[in-house]
Protein backbone atom coordinates (compact mmCIF):
# COMPACT_ATOMS: atom_id res chain seq x y z
CA UNK A 1 0.00 0.00 0.00
CA UNK A 2 1.11 3.55 -0.66
CA UNK A 3 2.13 5.63 2.39
CA UNK A 4 -0.75 8.01 1.73
CA UNK A 5 -3.22 5.14 1.69
CA UNK A 6 -1.77 3.79 4.93
CA UNK A 7 -2.06 7.21 6.54
CA UNK A 8 -5.67 7.60 5.46
CA UNK A 9 -6.53 4.09 6.59
CA UNK A 10 -5.11 4.83 10.02
CA UNK A 11 -7.07 8.06 10.23
CA UNK A 12 -10.27 6.48 9.07
CA UNK A 13 -10.01 3.55 11.48
CA UNK A 14 -9.35 5.93 14.38
CA UNK A 15 -12.54 7.81 13.57
CA UNK A 16 -14.74 4.72 13.48
CA UNK A 17 -16.79 3.64 16.49
CA UNK A 18 -15.98 0.28 17.97
CA UNK A 19 -17.96 -2.75 16.96
CA UNK A 20 -18.33 -1.78 13.27
CA UNK A 21 -16.83 -3.82 10.45
CA UNK A 22 -15.41 -2.25 7.31
CA UNK A 23 -13.84 -3.48 4.11
CA UNK A 24 -10.08 -3.46 4.19
CA UNK A 25 -9.78 -1.61 0.88
CA UNK A 26 -12.77 0.78 0.83
CA UNK A 27 -13.64 2.62 4.03
CA UNK A 28 -17.23 3.73 4.59
CA UNK A 29 -17.15 7.18 6.15
CA UNK A 30 -19.94 9.04 7.87
CA UNK A 31 -20.21 12.81 7.83
CA UNK A 32 -18.58 13.09 11.25
CA UNK A 33 -15.71 10.88 10.09
CA UNK A 34 -15.04 13.08 7.07
CA UNK A 35 -15.13 16.28 9.13
CA UNK A 36 -12.84 14.80 11.79
CA UNK A 37 -10.28 13.70 9.18
CA UNK A 38 -10.43 17.11 7.48
CA UNK A 39 -9.85 18.95 10.76
CA UNK A 40 -6.78 16.85 11.47
CA UNK A 41 -5.28 16.64 7.97
CA UNK A 42 -6.33 19.71 5.98
CA UNK A 43 -3.37 22.13 5.53
CA UNK A 44 -5.61 25.16 6.05
CA UNK A 45 -6.22 24.22 9.68
CA UNK A 46 -2.54 23.57 10.28
CA UNK A 47 -1.64 26.98 8.85
CA UNK A 48 -4.17 28.64 11.16
CA UNK A 49 -2.69 26.83 14.17
CA UNK A 50 0.77 28.00 13.14
CA UNK A 51 -0.50 31.59 13.18
CA UNK A 52 -1.47 31.12 16.83
CA UNK A 53 1.99 29.82 17.66
CA UNK A 54 3.54 32.70 15.74
CA UNK A 55 1.49 35.25 17.70
CA UNK A 56 2.54 33.59 20.95
CA UNK A 57 6.21 33.86 19.98
CA UNK A 58 5.63 37.51 19.10
CA UNK A 59 4.36 38.12 22.62
CA UNK A 60 7.40 36.39 24.08
CA UNK A 61 9.57 38.62 21.91
CA UNK A 62 7.91 41.70 23.40
CA UNK A 63 8.28 40.24 26.89
CA UNK A 64 11.97 39.74 26.23
CA UNK A 65 12.41 43.50 25.88
CA UNK A 66 11.54 43.86 29.57
CA UNK A 67 14.25 41.41 30.62
CA UNK A 68 17.94 42.22 31.13
CA UNK A 69 20.19 42.15 28.10
CA UNK A 70 23.85 41.13 28.18
CA UNK A 71 26.37 41.33 25.38
CA UNK A 72 30.10 40.93 24.91
CA UNK A 73 31.82 43.40 22.60
CA UNK A 74 35.33 43.57 21.29
CA UNK A 75 37.13 46.00 19.01
CA UNK A 76 40.60 46.75 17.62
CA UNK A 77 41.70 50.01 16.03
CA UNK A 78 44.96 50.68 14.21
CA UNK A 79 45.94 54.31 13.96
CA UNK A 80 47.12 55.18 10.46
CA UNK A 81 47.74 58.89 11.10
CA UNK A 82 47.82 60.31 14.60
CA UNK A 83 46.00 63.41 15.68
CA UNK A 84 48.01 66.62 16.11
CA UNK A 85 47.52 69.11 18.93
CA UNK A 86 48.73 72.71 18.84
CA UNK A 87 49.56 74.89 21.81
CA UNK A 88 50.31 78.61 22.17
CA UNK A 89 53.56 78.62 24.21
CA UNK A 90 53.68 82.42 24.40
CA UNK A 91 50.63 82.30 26.64
CA UNK A 92 52.69 80.29 29.16
CA UNK A 93 55.60 82.74 29.32
CA UNK A 94 58.93 80.97 29.52
CA UNK A 95 57.35 77.51 29.46
CA UNK A 96 57.91 77.39 25.74
CA UNK A 97 61.41 76.08 26.36
CA UNK A 98 60.24 73.23 28.55
CA UNK A 99 61.46 69.76 27.85
CA UNK A 100 59.59 68.06 25.03
CA UNK A 101 58.62 71.21 23.19
CA UNK A 102 59.51 71.23 19.54
CA UNK A 103 61.43 74.57 19.36
CA UNK A 104 63.91 75.33 16.58
CA UNK A 105 67.50 76.41 17.37
CA UNK A 106 66.94 79.90 15.96
CA UNK A 107 64.37 80.56 18.70
CA UNK A 108 61.31 80.67 16.46
CA UNK A 109 58.19 78.80 17.48
CA UNK A 110 57.22 75.62 15.57
CA UNK A 111 53.74 75.23 14.04
CA UNK A 112 53.95 71.45 13.71
CA UNK A 113 52.30 70.71 17.08
CA UNK A 114 52.22 67.44 19.07
CA UNK A 115 51.22 64.08 17.69
CA UNK A 116 48.82 62.31 20.09
CA UNK A 117 47.67 58.71 20.55
CA UNK A 118 49.12 55.25 20.13
CA UNK A 119 49.24 52.90 17.19
CA UNK A 120 47.07 50.08 18.61
CA UNK A 121 43.92 50.23 20.68
CA UNK A 122 42.08 47.16 22.04
CA UNK A 123 38.78 47.05 23.87
CA UNK A 124 36.97 44.01 25.32
CA UNK A 125 34.04 44.05 27.68
CA UNK A 126 30.52 43.13 28.78
CA UNK A 127 27.53 45.43 28.37
CA UNK A 128 24.34 44.94 30.42
CA UNK A 129 21.08 46.88 30.66
CA UNK A 130 17.57 46.41 31.99
CA UNK A 131 14.52 48.68 31.63
CA UNK A 132 13.07 49.76 34.96
CA UNK A 133 10.24 52.00 33.80
CA UNK A 134 8.97 51.28 30.26
CA UNK A 135 5.29 52.29 29.83
CA UNK A 136 5.21 51.61 26.09
CA UNK A 137 6.57 48.09 26.49
CA UNK A 138 4.02 47.35 29.20
CA UNK A 139 1.22 48.53 26.92
CA UNK A 140 2.65 46.49 24.03
CA UNK A 141 2.32 43.31 26.11
CA UNK A 142 -1.43 43.88 26.37
CA UNK A 143 -1.55 44.41 22.62
CA UNK A 144 0.26 41.09 22.11
CA UNK A 145 -2.47 39.31 24.10
CA UNK A 146 -5.05 40.73 21.71
CA UNK A 147 -3.01 39.54 18.72
CA UNK A 148 -3.03 36.01 20.12
CA UNK A 149 -6.81 36.19 20.58
CA UNK A 150 -7.13 37.40 16.99
CA UNK A 151 -5.06 34.49 15.68
CA UNK A 152 -7.16 32.04 17.73
CA UNK A 153 -10.39 33.49 16.34
CA UNK A 154 -9.02 33.28 12.81
CA UNK A 155 -8.18 29.63 13.44
CA UNK A 156 -11.73 29.03 14.69
CA UNK A 157 -13.15 30.76 11.61
CA UNK A 158 -10.95 28.59 9.41
CA UNK A 159 -12.24 25.45 11.11
CA UNK A 160 -15.86 26.57 10.80
CA UNK A 161 -15.39 27.30 7.11
CA UNK A 162 -13.74 23.92 6.58
CA UNK A 163 -16.60 22.13 8.37
CA UNK A 164 -19.06 23.93 6.10
CA UNK A 165 -17.14 22.99 2.96
CA UNK A 166 -16.81 19.35 3.99
CA UNK A 167 -20.51 19.11 4.79
CA UNK A 168 -21.53 20.64 1.48
CA UNK A 169 -19.15 18.35 -0.41
CA UNK A 170 -20.46 15.35 1.51
CA UNK A 171 -24.06 16.29 0.72
CA UNK A 172 -23.13 16.79 -2.94
CA UNK A 173 -21.65 13.30 -3.03
CA UNK A 174 -24.78 11.84 -1.43
CA UNK A 175 -26.93 13.70 -3.97
CA UNK A 176 -24.83 12.32 -6.82
CA UNK A 177 -25.18 8.76 -5.49
CA UNK A 178 -28.93 9.12 -4.89
CA UNK A 179 -29.43 10.62 -8.35
CA UNK A 180 -27.41 7.79 -9.85
CA UNK A 181 -29.54 5.27 -8.04
CA UNK A 182 -32.78 6.89 -9.26
CA UNK A 183 -31.54 7.03 -12.83
CA UNK A 184 -30.40 3.42 -12.55
CA UNK A 185 -33.89 2.41 -11.38
CA UNK A 186 -35.37 4.27 -14.34
CA UNK A 187 -32.97 2.47 -16.64
CA UNK A 188 -33.87 -0.89 -15.09
CA UNK A 189 -37.59 -0.20 -15.64
CA UNK A 190 -36.95 0.80 -19.25
CA UNK A 191 -34.79 -2.29 -19.74
CA UNK A 192 -37.48 -4.53 -18.27
CA UNK A 193 -40.06 -3.04 -20.60
CA UNK A 194 -37.75 -3.47 -23.56
CA UNK A 195 -37.10 -7.10 -22.72
CA UNK A 196 -40.84 -7.65 -22.41
CA UNK A 197 -41.42 -6.27 -25.91
CA UNK A 198 -38.55 -8.35 -27.27
CA UNK A 199 -40.22 -11.50 -25.94
CA UNK A 200 -43.62 -10.39 -27.21
CA UNK A 201 -42.10 -9.63 -30.62
CA UNK A 202 -40.55 -13.08 -30.68
CA UNK A 203 -43.98 -14.51 -29.90
CA UNK A 204 -45.54 -12.39 -32.65
CA UNK A 205 -47.53 -10.27 -30.19
CA UNK A 206 -45.59 -6.97 -30.71
CA UNK A 207 -44.26 -5.11 -33.70
CA UNK A 208 -40.63 -4.33 -34.43
CA UNK A 209 -41.42 -0.62 -34.06
CA UNK A 210 -42.41 -1.16 -30.44
CA UNK A 211 -39.16 -3.03 -29.81
CA UNK A 212 -37.13 -0.22 -31.35
CA UNK A 213 -39.05 2.43 -29.47
CA UNK A 214 -38.41 0.77 -26.10
CA UNK A 215 -34.76 0.28 -27.04
CA UNK A 216 -34.36 3.97 -27.85
CA UNK A 217 -36.09 4.94 -24.60
CA UNK A 218 -33.66 2.71 -22.68
CA UNK A 219 -30.57 4.07 -24.43
CA UNK A 220 -31.69 7.66 -23.91
CA UNK A 221 -31.15 7.12 -20.19
CA UNK A 222 -27.54 6.02 -20.60
CA UNK A 223 -26.16 9.61 -21.03
CA UNK A 224 -27.86 10.55 -17.78
CA UNK A 225 -26.13 7.66 -16.04
CA UNK A 226 -22.78 8.83 -17.43
CA UNK A 227 -23.45 12.35 -16.18
CA UNK A 228 -24.26 10.96 -12.75
CA UNK A 229 -20.98 9.00 -12.75
CA UNK A 230 -19.08 12.18 -13.63
CA UNK A 231 -20.86 14.05 -10.83
CA UNK A 232 -19.95 11.28 -8.36
CA UNK A 233 -16.31 11.40 -9.40
CA UNK A 234 -16.19 15.19 -9.15
CA UNK A 235 -17.83 15.24 -5.72
CA UNK A 236 -15.54 12.44 -4.51
CA UNK A 237 -12.43 14.36 -5.57
CA UNK A 238 -13.67 17.55 -3.95
CA UNK A 239 -14.36 15.78 -0.66
CA UNK A 240 -10.97 14.04 -0.75
CA UNK A 241 -9.18 17.37 -1.28
CA UNK A 242 -11.02 18.97 1.64
CA UNK A 243 -10.17 15.98 3.82
CA UNK A 244 -6.50 16.42 2.99
CA UNK A 245 -6.04 12.94 1.52
CA UNK A 246 -4.90 11.76 -1.90
CA UNK A 247 -7.49 11.96 -4.66
CA UNK A 248 -7.10 8.27 -5.50
CA UNK A 249 -7.78 7.15 -1.93
CA UNK A 250 -10.74 4.74 -2.00
CA UNK A 251 -13.62 5.46 0.36
CA UNK A 252 -17.40 5.55 0.27
CA UNK A 253 -19.99 7.62 2.10
CA UNK A 254 -22.57 6.18 4.43
CA UNK A 255 -26.32 6.65 4.20
CA UNK A 256 -28.55 8.64 1.88
CA UNK A 257 -30.02 12.12 1.88
CA UNK A 258 -33.36 10.81 3.10
CA UNK A 259 -31.70 9.72 6.38
CA UNK A 260 -31.45 13.37 7.44
CA UNK A 261 -35.19 13.88 7.18
CA UNK A 262 -35.73 12.28 10.58
CA UNK A 263 -34.10 15.16 12.51
CA UNK A 264 -35.01 17.89 10.06
CA UNK A 265 -38.18 19.18 11.68
CA UNK A 266 -36.72 19.30 15.18
CA UNK A 267 -33.70 21.24 13.92
CA UNK A 268 -35.89 23.80 12.19
CA UNK A 269 -37.91 24.46 15.33
CA UNK A 270 -34.73 25.18 17.30
CA UNK A 271 -33.22 27.64 14.81
CA UNK A 272 -32.74 31.16 16.16
CA UNK A 273 -30.84 34.09 14.58
CA UNK A 274 -28.34 34.22 17.45
CA UNK A 275 -25.16 35.96 16.26
CA UNK A 276 -23.26 35.58 19.52
CA UNK A 277 -20.69 33.20 17.98
CA UNK A 278 -20.46 34.84 14.58
CA UNK A 279 -16.82 35.03 13.54
CA UNK A 280 -17.13 38.40 11.79
CA UNK A 281 -18.53 40.05 14.92
CA UNK A 282 -15.94 38.32 17.08
CA UNK A 283 -13.16 39.59 14.83
CA UNK A 284 -14.66 43.08 14.97
CA UNK A 285 -14.61 42.97 18.78
CA UNK A 286 -11.01 41.76 18.82
CA UNK A 287 -9.91 44.42 16.35
CA UNK A 288 -11.66 47.04 18.47
CA UNK A 289 -9.76 45.85 21.54
CA UNK A 290 -6.55 45.93 19.51
CA UNK A 291 -7.20 49.55 18.54
CA UNK A 292 -7.88 50.40 22.18
CA UNK A 293 -4.58 48.82 23.18
CA UNK A 294 -2.85 50.64 20.33
CA UNK A 295 -4.27 53.89 21.64
CA UNK A 296 -2.84 52.98 25.04
CA UNK A 297 0.58 52.40 23.47
CA UNK A 298 0.46 55.81 21.80
CA UNK A 299 -0.49 57.50 25.08
CA UNK A 300 2.32 55.69 26.88
CA UNK A 301 4.79 57.42 24.56
CA UNK A 302 4.27 60.59 26.63
CA UNK A 303 5.66 58.97 29.77
CA UNK A 304 9.37 58.97 30.72
CA UNK A 305 11.48 55.82 30.62
CA UNK A 306 14.15 54.72 33.04
CA UNK A 307 16.75 52.01 32.51
CA UNK A 308 19.70 50.62 34.42
CA UNK A 309 22.93 49.91 32.59
CA UNK A 310 26.50 48.95 33.26
CA UNK A 311 29.63 47.60 31.66
CA UNK A 312 32.91 45.98 32.55
CA UNK A 313 35.67 46.29 29.98
CA UNK A 314 39.40 45.78 29.42
CA UNK A 315 41.41 48.24 27.34
CA UNK A 316 44.94 48.13 25.97
CA UNK A 317 47.02 50.61 23.90
CA UNK A 318 50.51 50.25 22.45
CA UNK A 319 52.86 51.37 19.71
CA UNK A 320 54.50 49.23 17.12
CA UNK A 321 53.45 45.63 16.53
CA UNK A 322 49.79 44.84 17.33
CA UNK A 323 50.89 41.52 18.85
CA UNK A 324 53.29 42.88 21.46
CA UNK A 325 53.46 45.30 24.36
CA UNK A 326 49.94 44.63 25.71
CA UNK A 327 49.01 46.76 28.71
CA UNK A 328 45.56 45.76 29.86
CA UNK A 329 43.57 47.93 32.25
CA UNK A 330 40.06 47.26 33.48
CA UNK A 331 37.16 49.67 33.59
CA UNK A 332 33.64 49.29 35.00
CA UNK A 333 30.59 51.48 35.57
CA UNK A 334 26.92 51.31 36.58
CA UNK A 335 24.42 54.04 35.82
CA UNK A 336 20.80 55.06 35.33
CA UNK A 337 19.42 56.47 32.10
CA UNK A 338 16.32 58.66 32.23
CA UNK A 339 14.53 59.80 29.09
CA UNK A 340 11.73 62.36 29.28
CA UNK A 341 9.98 63.03 25.95
CA UNK A 342 9.16 66.72 25.60
CA UNK A 343 8.49 67.60 21.99
CA UNK A 344 8.58 65.54 18.80
CA UNK A 345 6.90 67.82 16.30
CA UNK A 346 3.35 66.70 17.22
CA UNK A 347 3.93 63.09 16.09
CA UNK A 348 2.53 61.48 19.24
CA UNK A 349 -0.50 63.76 19.29
CA UNK A 350 -1.36 62.96 15.69
CA UNK A 351 -0.92 59.22 16.26
CA UNK A 352 -3.42 59.38 19.12
CA UNK A 353 -5.89 61.22 16.90
CA UNK A 354 -5.52 58.56 14.21
CA UNK A 355 -6.16 55.76 16.72
CA UNK A 356 -9.32 57.46 17.99
CA UNK A 357 -10.64 57.92 14.45
CA UNK A 358 -10.02 54.21 13.78
CA UNK A 359 -12.00 53.34 16.91
CA UNK A 360 -14.93 55.45 15.70
CA UNK A 361 -14.73 53.76 12.29
CA UNK A 362 -14.79 50.34 13.93
CA UNK A 363 -17.91 51.26 15.90
CA UNK A 364 -19.76 52.26 12.71
CA UNK A 365 -18.50 49.12 10.97
CA UNK A 366 -19.90 46.94 13.74
CA UNK A 367 -23.26 48.68 13.63
CA UNK A 368 -23.56 48.06 9.90
CA UNK A 369 -22.25 44.51 10.26
CA UNK A 370 -24.87 43.62 12.87
CA UNK A 371 -27.68 44.83 10.63
CA UNK A 372 -26.32 42.94 7.63
CA UNK A 373 -25.75 39.68 9.50
CA UNK A 374 -29.15 39.84 11.19
CA UNK A 375 -30.82 40.18 7.80
CA UNK A 376 -28.79 37.29 6.41
CA UNK A 377 -29.67 35.05 9.35
CA UNK A 378 -33.38 35.88 9.12
CA UNK A 379 -33.45 35.24 5.37
CA UNK A 380 -31.50 32.00 5.81
CA UNK A 381 -33.97 30.68 8.39
CA UNK A 382 -36.91 31.63 6.16
CA UNK A 383 -35.24 29.88 3.24
CA UNK A 384 -34.71 26.75 5.33
CA UNK A 385 -38.37 26.71 6.33
CA UNK A 386 -39.36 26.98 2.67
CA UNK A 387 -37.01 24.10 1.89
CA UNK A 388 -38.74 22.01 4.54
CA UNK A 389 -42.10 22.72 2.92
CA UNK A 390 -40.64 21.82 -0.45
CA UNK A 391 -39.35 18.54 0.94
CA UNK A 392 -42.77 17.68 2.32
CA UNK A 393 -44.37 18.54 -1.01
CA UNK A 394 -41.79 16.55 -2.95
CA UNK A 395 -42.21 13.57 -0.65
CA UNK A 396 -45.96 13.64 -1.21
CA UNK A 397 -45.36 13.90 -4.95
CA UNK A 398 -43.08 10.85 -4.83
CA UNK A 399 -45.80 8.86 -3.05
CA UNK A 400 -48.41 9.83 -5.62
CA UNK A 401 -46.06 9.16 -8.54
CA UNK A 402 -45.23 5.74 -7.07
CA UNK A 403 -48.89 4.80 -6.76
CA UNK A 404 -49.60 6.07 -10.26
CA UNK A 405 -46.73 4.05 -11.67
CA UNK A 406 -47.89 0.91 -9.87
CA UNK A 407 -51.35 1.34 -11.37
CA UNK A 408 -49.96 1.89 -14.87
CA UNK A 409 -47.62 -1.06 -14.49
CA UNK A 410 -50.47 -3.41 -13.56
CA UNK A 411 -52.66 -1.98 -16.31
CA UNK A 412 -49.89 -2.43 -18.85
CA UNK A 413 -49.41 -6.04 -17.72
CA UNK A 414 -53.05 -6.86 -18.55
CA UNK A 415 -53.08 -4.75 -21.71
CA UNK A 416 -55.30 -1.98 -20.30
CA UNK A 417 -52.59 0.71 -20.72
CA UNK A 418 -50.26 1.58 -23.55
CA UNK A 419 -46.50 1.79 -23.42
CA UNK A 420 -46.67 5.57 -23.62
CA UNK A 421 -48.81 5.64 -20.49
CA UNK A 422 -46.31 3.39 -18.69
CA UNK A 423 -43.34 5.42 -19.87
CA UNK A 424 -45.00 8.65 -18.83
CA UNK A 425 -45.55 7.29 -15.31
CA UNK A 426 -41.92 6.15 -15.15
CA UNK A 427 -40.64 9.60 -16.13
CA UNK A 428 -42.96 11.27 -13.62
CA UNK A 429 -41.71 8.98 -10.85
CA UNK A 430 -38.07 9.65 -11.78
CA UNK A 431 -38.58 13.41 -11.82
CA UNK A 432 -40.40 13.29 -8.49
CA UNK A 433 -37.59 11.30 -6.83
CA UNK A 434 -34.89 13.58 -8.21
CA UNK A 435 -36.82 16.64 -7.06
CA UNK A 436 -37.15 15.14 -3.59
CA UNK A 437 -33.43 14.49 -3.23
CA UNK A 438 -32.64 17.92 -4.63
CA UNK A 439 -34.96 19.50 -2.05
CA UNK A 440 -33.28 17.60 0.79
CA UNK A 441 -29.88 18.63 -0.53
CA UNK A 442 -30.94 22.29 -0.71
CA UNK A 443 -32.14 22.12 2.89
CA UNK A 444 -28.94 20.53 4.16
CA UNK A 445 -26.72 23.05 2.35
CA UNK A 446 -28.84 25.95 3.61
CA UNK A 447 -28.66 24.60 7.17
CA UNK A 448 -24.88 24.20 6.89
CA UNK A 449 -24.51 27.76 5.58
CA UNK A 450 -26.64 29.05 8.45
CA UNK A 451 -24.47 27.13 10.90
CA UNK A 452 -21.41 28.84 9.40
CA UNK A 453 -23.11 32.24 9.60
CA UNK A 454 -24.04 31.77 13.25
CA UNK A 455 -20.68 30.23 14.05
CA UNK A 456 -22.17 27.53 16.26
CA UNK A 457 -20.76 24.41 14.60
CA UNK A 458 -19.62 21.94 17.30
CA UNK A 459 -16.00 21.86 16.15
CA UNK A 460 -14.87 20.21 19.38
CA UNK A 461 -17.10 17.23 18.62
CA UNK A 462 -15.05 16.38 15.56
CA UNK A 463 -11.67 16.53 17.29
CA UNK A 464 -9.86 13.24 16.94
CA UNK A 465 -6.93 11.99 19.06
CA UNK A 466 -3.47 12.25 17.59
CA UNK A 467 -2.80 9.29 15.35
CA UNK A 468 0.59 7.72 14.96
CA UNK A 469 1.52 7.76 11.29
CA UNK A 470 2.81 4.49 9.82
CA UNK A 471 6.48 4.42 8.89
CA UNK A 472 7.63 3.81 5.36
The answer to whether the beta carbons of residues 249 and 5 sit under 8 Å apart is: yes
Counting Cα atoms < 13 Å in the Cβ hemisphere of 117 gives: 13
pLDDT of residue 112: 64
Q: What is the pLDDT of residue 13?
A: 41
Q: How many CB atoms lie within 10 A of CB 257?
A: 21
pLDDT tens column, 101-159:
444 455 445 556 778 888 889 999 999 999 998 888 888 888 888 888 888 998 899 99
Mean per-residue pLDDT, 30-55:
88
Distance, CA of 181 to CA of 198 (rounded, Å) = 25
Percent of the chain with pLDDT over 90: 30
Q: Is the pLDDT of residue 401 over 60?
A: yes
- More confident site: 246 or 99: 246
Measuring CA to CA, how many Å separate 129 from each of 111, 138, 337? 46, 17, 10
Please tell me the distance from the alpha carbon of residue 319 to that of residue 235, in angstroms, as a whole number: 83
pLDDT at 77: 92
Cα–Cα distance between 236 and 170 in angstroms, integer?
Answer: 8
What is the band of 26 on the pLDDT scale with cuts at 50, 70, 90? Answer: low
Average pLDDT over residues 188-209: 85
What would the pLDDT profile of 177-191 be if each residue is shown by its tens digit?
Answer: 999 999 998 898 888
The better pLDDT of the pair 101, 246 is held by: 246
pLDDT of residue 114: 79
Residues 6+ apart with CB under 8 A from 89: 95, 96, 101, 103, 109
pLDDT of residue 19: 32
Q: What is the DSSP letter of 2?
A: -
CA distance 36 to 20: 18
Dist. CA 445–CA 171, nearest whole Å: 7
* DSSP structure string for 10-43: HHHHHHSPTT----SSSEEE-HHHHHHHHHHH-H
pLDDT confidence of residue 310: 93
Position 23 scores a pLDDT of: 36
Residue 375: how many other CB atoms lie within 10 Å: 11
Give the whole-angstrom CA distance, residue 129 versus residue 465: 46
Share of the chain above pLDDT 70, in %: 87
Q: Tell me the mean pLDDT in the region 250-278.
A: 82
pLDDT reported for residue 94: 52
pLDDT score, position 2: 42
Assess whether pLDDT exceeds 60 at residue 448.
Answer: yes
**Is 214:197 a contact under the CB 8 Å cutoff?**
yes
Does 226 have pLDDT greater than 90? yes
What pLDDT sits at residue 414? 80
DSSP letter string, 92-147: GGGGGGSTT----TTSPPPSS-EEES-SEEEEEEEEEEEEEE-HHHHHHHHHHHHH
pLDDT at residue 230 is higher than 90: yes
DSSP secondary structure letter of residue 445: H
pLDDT at 213: 87
Cα–Cα distance measured from residue 120 to residue 62, given in angstroms and rounded to the nearest whole number? 40
- Residues in a beta bridge with 261: none
CA 363 to chain centre: 26
**φ, ψ (nearest 5 deg) of residue 254:** -100, 145
Q: What is the pLDDT of residues 47-91, one digit of tens each?
A: 888 888 888 888 888 888 888 999 999 999 998 888 888 876 665
Averaged pLDDT of the chain: 83
**Amino acid 334: pLDDT:** 94
- Between CA 217 and CA 426 the distance in angstroms is 11
Does the pLDDT value for residue 466 go beyond 80? Answer: no
Q: What are phi and psi of 352, to 5 degrees?
A: -65, -40
- For residue 298, give every residue at least 6 positions away whose Cβ sits within 8 Å of its Cβ, in sequence order, or none: 348, 351, 352, 355
pLDDT band for position 24 (50/70/90)?
A: very low
Considering only 109-118, 155-164, 197-206, which range has the smallest mean pLDDT? 109-118
Average pLDDT over every residue of 273-284:
89
Neighbours of 202 (CB within 10 A): 10
Cα separation, 420 vs 428, whole angstroms: 12
- Residue 294 CA to residue 358 CA, distance in Å, equals 10
Amino acid sequence: MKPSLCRFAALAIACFPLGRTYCQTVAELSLDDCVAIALSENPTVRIADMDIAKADYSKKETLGQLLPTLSFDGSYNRTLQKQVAYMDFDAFGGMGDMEGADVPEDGSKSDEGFKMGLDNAYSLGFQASVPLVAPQLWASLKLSDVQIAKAAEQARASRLDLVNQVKNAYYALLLAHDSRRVVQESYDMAELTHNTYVKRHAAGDASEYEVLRTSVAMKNIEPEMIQCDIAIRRAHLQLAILMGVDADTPFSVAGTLSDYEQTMYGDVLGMQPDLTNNTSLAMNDIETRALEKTLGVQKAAWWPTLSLGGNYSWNSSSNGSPFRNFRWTSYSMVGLSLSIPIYQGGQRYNRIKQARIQLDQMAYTRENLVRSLSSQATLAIDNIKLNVKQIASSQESVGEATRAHDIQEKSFAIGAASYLDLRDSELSLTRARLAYYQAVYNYLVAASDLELLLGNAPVEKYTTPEIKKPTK
